[in-house]
């Protein structure tokens, strides 16, 4: 190997290390092919495949009518998921803000944002329901288990347990295979 090729090799190594540390947003795939995401419109029968709710909306539902509550919860969850997914797709590949319990337990700025969207939708539709989001408790299964046990003992009759972005590692790496 000649003396002139060694600096070239070092430059290529340096460049490849630099590119691997580039923000993930810069490497995101084009978004022109995405299907639009929007909450269902309950004002027309055709656009609301889950049916209609009694006059007075969700607040007028009998919470002991389990089939009606299941339908209402599914509608609220679906609409909140669509709103959260729109934010996730817009910010796919977001940078890690911190790690929680360990180096694999990642947190981006999008996790709490999506959780707030879901929590707001649930609390607006069902003010008496409880809500426990992954970002509301410290990292680790012990903290999550303790929070769930406390809410089940002292909390409301209905409890929503939400992981705003299940698959944060995929999300951080720009792979749209995350769920919530």
What is the full DSSP assignment across 44-99? STTT-TT----TTGGGGS-TT-HHHHHHHHHHHHHHHHHHHHHHHHHTTTPPEEEE
* Residue 48 Ramachandran class (φ > 0 left, ψ -120 to 50 alpha, else beta): beta
Please tell me the CATH code under which domain 63-180 is placed: 3.30.540.10
SS3 content of the chain, % helix, strand, coil (to 5): 50, 10, 40
Burial 80-91 (b: 16+ CB within 10 A, else e): bbbbbbbbbeeb
Residues of the chain with pLDDT under 70: 1-57, 59, 178-180
Torsion 174-177-178-180 (CA) sign: positive
**pLDDT number for residue 55:** 62
Please tell me what DSSP assigns to residue 38.
Answer: -
**pLDDT number for residue 106:** 86
Token couple for 91: 């910010």
**pLDDT number for residue 104:** 79
- The angle formed by the CA atoms of residues 49, 52 and 54, to the nearest 5 degrees, is 165
Q: Rounded to whole angstroms, how far apart are CA atoms 53 and 71?
A: 9
**pLDDT number for residue 131:** 94
Token couple for 112: 């709490």
């Amino acid at each position: 190997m000649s003396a002139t090729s060694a600096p070239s090799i070092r430059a290529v190594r340096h460049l490849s290390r630099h590119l691997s540390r580039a923000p993930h947003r810069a490497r995101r795939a084009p978004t022109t092919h995405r299907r639009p995401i929007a909450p269902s419109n309950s004002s027309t029968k055709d656009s609301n495949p889950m049916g209609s709710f009694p006059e007075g909306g969700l607040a007028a539902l009998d919470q002991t009518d389990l089939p009606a509550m299941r339908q209402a919860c599914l509608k609220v969850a679906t609409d909140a998921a669509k709103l959260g997914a729109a934010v996730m797709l817009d910010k796919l590949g977001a940078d890690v803000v911190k790690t929680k319990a360990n180096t694999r337990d990642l947190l981006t700025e999008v996790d709490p944002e999506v959780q707030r969207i879901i929590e707001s939708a649930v609390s607006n539709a069902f003010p008496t329901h409880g809500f426990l989001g992954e970002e509301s408790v410290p990292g680790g299964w012990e903290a999550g288990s303790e929070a769930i046990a406390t809410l089940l003992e002292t909390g409301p009759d209905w409890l929503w347990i939400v992981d705003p972005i299940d698959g944060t590692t995929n999300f951080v790496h720009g792979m749209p295979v995350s769920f919530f």
